[in-house]
């Protein structure tokens, strides 16, 4: 058998094998992109009440991390490790929380909606919690209530039916609020000045039972 | 039996191995567990709102929040910050230290002694350490580029009437109309479950009057002249939202959040053909506004709340230089600066020259005041746009502030179905005010003739 005949025999097999490998392995990898959540865990521990300041420190760990609709884990390395995932798809399994999951974790809430007390969720714990933004807006769940926007303080939140962000620092020089929030896939999670306070779409939301 | 199948089978196996190796290296390897466990050790952030404009002998407390960066992923890992604030009266050379007291809510604060509040103003900066070996100053320029508070002895007080929501002035005309989407006549909308609706972040007016829209969802500038079909200039844009300023020479300065590749915002400049001139990271982690100043673009940055110059061309101003040149007021024509300090109870505005207050206004309203959307020199004073709101209603109020008081005012519908950059809904061009409005049907740029300059 000549080299040319051998090569002609090898080539279709090579192309076929390569195609099959990319289809078999590449399609799921592409769909899940980085599969960040594959490295997350389910670790938590219950705590006594914490302060608003401790809650803000925890939330700050999410700044500069990613956004993932229905997601819940991040690693505090200040990089979105799964940028560019298609938005609104939980199967992309990317890094970061969404807005309501970020609030749930930062407010140290528990998954049992009748239990108002505190739970530390490890940053890499992949948990979203039972609440959507609208639930916070209407004060659903034992730890949550509503509050007049004029009376809000730091680590209260502004919630609409489609988004929620927590007050990181109230009243800037231009009278905005610096909000800490999981904003969108292209935005990631971070702190930005916002005008939610004066926007009628948004209501004041508060976690109860802070230690201070 | 002829063994003709052997070579195709070998090729099949080799091809499969090559494909699997490629995917392993590029997908799994790029996101391995070691990379996932990083914890960022750092100070965190100092939070502060500067008083900026004070009445003579007005008591003032400087308050600082301190955010502790997590050093470990465990509940007890916290810091115990303490620090000093350094003050000096305007025109004097030496800073004096004042210890910051810890309040019950964890914030650090100090009353400014009366000897600093009776003169023309004072400079200050804070130096805070977190008890874990990390420390930071605010503003980052410390004594070399401190924060400043002006003291005005003469104020023009304006008391606004109660808002009559729903009776806003109709625009004089609509100069841009676009549907949502990616097409030639559309502007992009980023929306989805559990997230904000984000439309075009900002717009500005080119020197020839063209409306330039930052259509960041579609990575482009959309330039509208007299035709409904805009000219599109593709641009690099990182992150979800940004801001835009077009200078007198037609250069467009685009502020973006930096995206996944940068921990700070980035300012990029583009010529009128959309060609990139330069790009530079910002010295601070957050920014909300870019404006064209007489010496080049200025960016309002956080946590300092100072205006950082980024340079009008190539090379741009590097971050260390931005910090050294930072100013608490925004430079405008005539060697003046615009200073804004608002709260829910009142909004203060001033035109200053150096340490001297040229003109100052206090605006009070019967409802809560929201953000100051715009404050631009106009005639001998300022044109300002503020939000008035109650829990369920809101509107914008346009104010002509002149030395004698309020010489004109009207309400504008908020029309904010989609988000823009937080302070980029309005732009003033000559005596015409433009507003970026949005609704479920799309976006429009509306025009209001102001008139009434003196």
Which domain CATH number covers A168? 3.90.1720
Peptide bond preceding B315 in cis form (omega within 30 of 0) = yes
A13 touches chain B (CB under 8 A): yes
Contact (Cβ atoms closer than 8 angstroms) between residue B200 and residue B436: yes
pLDDT score of B34: 39
Contacts of A162 in chain B (CB under 8 A): 193-197
For the residues A176-185, what does the mean pLDDT come to?
Answer: 96
A65 phi, psi to nearest 5 deg: -95, -175
Number of domains in chain A: 2
A15 and B CB contact within 8 Å: yes
Q: Do the strands B368-378 and B82-89 form a parallel or antiparallel pair, or are they unpaired?
A: unpaired
Q: Give, rounded to a whole angstrom, the gap between the first and last alpha carbons of chain A.
A: 84
Predicted interface score ipTM higher than 0.85: yes
Do A71 and A140 share a domain, yes or no? yes
Same domain for A78 and A5: no
As given in the structure block, the two tokens for residue A10 are: 């090898």
Question: A24 with A89, same domain?
Answer: no
Does position A197 have pLDDT exceeding 80, yes or no?
A: yes
Computed over every residue of chain A, the mean pLDDT equals: 89
Q: Is B226 exposed, middle or buried (0-12, 13-18, 19+ CB in 10 A)?
A: exposed
Instruction: Looking at the structure, tell me whether residues A3 and A47 fall in a common domain.
Output: no
- pLDDT at residue B342, as a whole number: 98
Block means of pLDDT (10 residues each) for chain B, 454 residues, are 61 61 43 45 91 97 95 83 97 93 95 96 97 95 97 97 93 97 96 92 96 98 88 95 97 90 90 95 97 97 98 93 98 98 98 97 97 97 98 97 97 97 97 98 97 64
Asked if residue A212 is part of any domain, the answer here is: no
Q: Within this chain, do residues A199 and A174 fall inside the same structural domain, yes or no?
A: yes
Q: What is the SS3 assignment for B276-338?
A: EEEEEECCCCEEEEEEEECCEEEEEEECCCEEEECCCCCCCCCHHHHHHCCECCEEECCCEEE
Closest chain A residue to the Cα of B49, Cα to Cα: A172
Pairwise CA distance, residues A168 & A154, whole Å: 6
Q: What is the pLDDT of residue B453?
A: 59
Q: Which of A39, A45, A183 sits opposite B36 (nearest CB)?
A: A39
> Do A25 and A41 belong to one domain?
no
Mean pLDDT of A135-153: 98
- Name the helix (H) or strand (E) containing B360: strand B356-364
Cβ neighbours for A194, distance < 8 A, ≥ 6 positions apart: A158, A165, A176, A177, A178, A179, A181, B422
Are β-strands B442-449 and B432-439 bridged in parallel, bridged antiparallel, or unpaired? antiparallel
Q: Do A13 and B12 touch (CB under 8 A)?
A: yes
B260 and A79 within 8 Å at the Cβ level: the answer is yes
Is A171 domain-assigned? Answer: yes
pTM for the model: 0.90
The percent of residues in chain A predicted with pLDDT above 70, rounded, is: 84
Domain B44-153 - what CATH class?
mainly beta
Judging contacts by C-beta atoms under 8 Å, the chain B residues touching residue A36 are 31, 36
Q: Across the interface, which of B31, B343, B389 has its CB nearest the CB of A198? A: B389
Q: A45 and A28, same structural domain?
A: no
Calpha distance B154→B74 (Å, rounded): 53
A134: which chain B residues are within 8 Å (Cβ-Cβ)? none
Strands B242-246 and B231-234: unpaired
Decide if B15 and A15 are in contact by the 8 Å CB cutoff. yes
Q: What is the pLDDT of residues A77-109, one digit of tens each?
A: 888 888 888 777 778 899 999 999 999 999 999
Range of the domain at A18: 1-32
Nearest neighbour of B196 by CB, restricted to A122, A123, A163: A163
CB A166 within 8 A of CB A133: no
Q: Kindly state whether residues A109 and A26 are assigned to the same domain.
A: no
The residue extents of the domains of chain B are 44-153, 158-449
With respect to residue A23, please indicate whether it lies within any of the assigned structural domains: yes
Token couple for B43:
């100070």
What pLDDT is stored for residue B11 in this prediction? 65
- Asked if residue A122 and residue A17 are part of one domain, the reply reads no
A59 and A18 inside one domain? no
Do residue B75 and residue A120 have CB atoms under 8 angstroms apart? yes
Tokens 């807006």 sit on residue: A137
A132: chain B residues, CB-CB within 8 Å? 194
B427-441 per-residue burial string, b: 16 or more CB within 10 A, e: under 16: bbbeebbbbbbbeee
B241 to chain A: which residues are within 8 Å by CB?
183, 187, 192
In-domain check, residue A80: yes
Let me know whether A14 and A67 are in one domain: no
Contact check, Cβ <8 Å, A21/B106: no
Are the CB atoms for B344 and A151 separated by under 8 Å?
no
Give the number of other Cβ atoms within 10 Å of residue B181's Cβ: 14
A28-31 long-range Cβ contacts below 8 angstroms, 24+ apart: A29/B23, A29/B27, A29/B28, A31/A91, A31/A92
pLDDT for residue B35: 44
Would you say residue A97 lies in a domain? yes
Two tokens, residue B160 = 């606004």
**CA torsion, points B177, B180, B185, B187, in degrees to nearest 10?**
90
Topology of domain B158-449, CATH: Neuraminidase (2.120.10)
Contact B305 A172 (CB under 8 A): yes
The separation between CA B379 and the C-alpha centre of its own chain, rounded to angstroms, equals 26
Which of B4, B9, B11 has the most A C-beta neighbours within 10 Å, making it the best mutation to test the interface with A?
A: B11
- Strands B156-159 and B356-364 turn out to be parallel
Sequential DSSP letters for chain A: --HHHHHHHHHHHHHHHHHHHIIIIIHHHHHHTT-GGGG-B--EEEES---HHHHHHHHHTTTTS---TT-EE--SSSS-SSTTPPTT-GGG--SEE-HHHHHHHHTT--SSTT--SEEEEPTTB----S--HHHHHTT-STTEEEE-GGG--TT-EEE-SS-EEEEEE---TTS-EEEEEEEETTTEEEEEEE-GGG-TT-EEEEES----
Find, in chain B, the residue whose alpha carbon is nearest to that of A84: B260
Cβ distance B13 to A190 less than 8 Å, yes or no, reads no
CA distance B5 to A166: 65
Residue B61: how many other CB atoms lie within 10 Å? 11
Q: Confirm or reject contact between A205 and chain B (CB < 8 A).
A: no
> Are both A49 and A133 inside the same structural domain?
yes
- With a CB cutoff of 8 Å and minimum separation 6, the contacts of A20 are B12, B15, B16, B19
- Per the domain annotation, does A25 fall within a domain? yes
């Amino acid at each position: 058998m000549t080299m040319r005949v051998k090569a002609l025999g090898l080539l279709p097999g090579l192309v076929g094998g390569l195609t099959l490998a990319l289809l078999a392995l590449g399609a799921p990898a592409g769909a899940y992109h980085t599969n960040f959540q594959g490295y997350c865990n389910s670790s938590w521990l219950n705590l006594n009440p914490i302060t608003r300041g401790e809650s803000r420190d925890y939330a700050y760990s999410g700044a500069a991390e990613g956004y993932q609709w229905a997601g819940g884990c991040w690693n505090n390395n200040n990089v979105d490790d799964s940028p560019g995932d298609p938005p609104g798809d939980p199967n992309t399994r990317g890094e970061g929380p969404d807005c309501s999951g970020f609030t749930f974790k930062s407010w140290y809430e528990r998954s049992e909606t009748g239990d108002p007390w505190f739970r530390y969720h490890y940053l890499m714990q992949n948990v979203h919690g039972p609440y959507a933004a609208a639930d916070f807006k209407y004060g659903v769940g034992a730890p949550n209530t509503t509050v007049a926007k004029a009376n809000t303080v730091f680590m209260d939140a502004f919630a609409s039916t489609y988004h929620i962000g927590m007050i990181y620092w109230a009243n800037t020089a231009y009278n905005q609020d610096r909000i800490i929030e999981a904003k969108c896939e292209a935005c990631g999670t971070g702190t930005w000045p916002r005008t939610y306070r004066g926007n009628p779409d948004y209501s004041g939301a508060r976690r109860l039972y802070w230690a201070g | 039996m002829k063994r003709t199948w052997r070579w195709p089978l070998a090729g099949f196996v080799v091809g499969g191995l090559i494909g699997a190796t490629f995917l392993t290296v590029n997908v799994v390897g790029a996101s391995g567990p070691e990379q996932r466990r990083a914890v960022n050790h750092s100070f965190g952030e100092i939070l502060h709102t500067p008083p900026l404009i004070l009445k003579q002998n007005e008591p003032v407390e400087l308050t600082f929040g301190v955010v502790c960066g997590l050093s470990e992923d465990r509940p007890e890992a916290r810091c115990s910050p303490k620090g000093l604030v350094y003050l000096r009266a305007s025109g004097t050379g030496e800073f004096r230290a004042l210890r910051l007291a810890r309040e019950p809510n964890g914030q650090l604060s100090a009353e400014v002694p009366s000897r600093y509040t009776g003169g023309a103003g004072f400079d200050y900066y804070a130096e805070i350490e977190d008890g874990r070996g990390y420390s930071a100053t605010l503003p980052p320029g410390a004594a070399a580029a401190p924060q400043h508070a002006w003291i005005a002895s003469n104020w023009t007080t304006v008391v606004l009437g109660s808002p009559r929501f729903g009776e806003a002035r109709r625009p004089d005309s609509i100069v841009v109309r676009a549907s949502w989407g990616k097409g030639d006549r559309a502007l992009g909308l980023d929306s989805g479950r559990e997230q904000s609706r984000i439309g075009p972040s900002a717009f500005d007016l080119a020197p020839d009057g063209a409306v330039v829209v930052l259509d960041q969802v579609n990575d482009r500038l959309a330039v509208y002249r007299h035709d409904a079909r805009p000219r599109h200039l593709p641009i690099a844009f990182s992150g979800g939202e940004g801001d835009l300023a077009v200078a007198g020479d037609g250069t467009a300065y685009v502020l973006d959040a930096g995206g996944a590749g940068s921990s700070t915002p980035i300012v990029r400049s583009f010529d009128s053909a959309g060609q990139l001139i330069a790009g530079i990271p910002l010295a601070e982690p957050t920014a909300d506004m870019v404006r064209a100043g007489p010496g080049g673009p200025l960016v309002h940055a956080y946590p300092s709340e100072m205006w950082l110059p980024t340079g009008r061309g190539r090379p741009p101003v590097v971050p260390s230089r931005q910090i050294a040149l930072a100013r608490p007021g925004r430079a405008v024509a005539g060697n003046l600066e615009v200073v804004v300090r608002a709260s829910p109870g009142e909004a203060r505005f001033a035109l200053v020259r150096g340490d001297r207050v040229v003109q100052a206004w206090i605006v009070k309203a019967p409802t809560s005041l929201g953000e100051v959307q715009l404050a631009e020199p106009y005639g001998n004073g300022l044109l300002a746009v503020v939000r008035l709101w109650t829990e369920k209603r809101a509107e914008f109020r346009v104010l002509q502030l002149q030395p004698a008081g309020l010489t004109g005012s009207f309400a504008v519908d908020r029309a904010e179905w989609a988000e823009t950059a937080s302070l980029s809904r309005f732009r003033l061009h000559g005596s015409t005010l433009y507003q970026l409005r949005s609704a479920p049907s799309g976006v429009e740029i509306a025009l209001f003739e102001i008139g009434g300059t003196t």
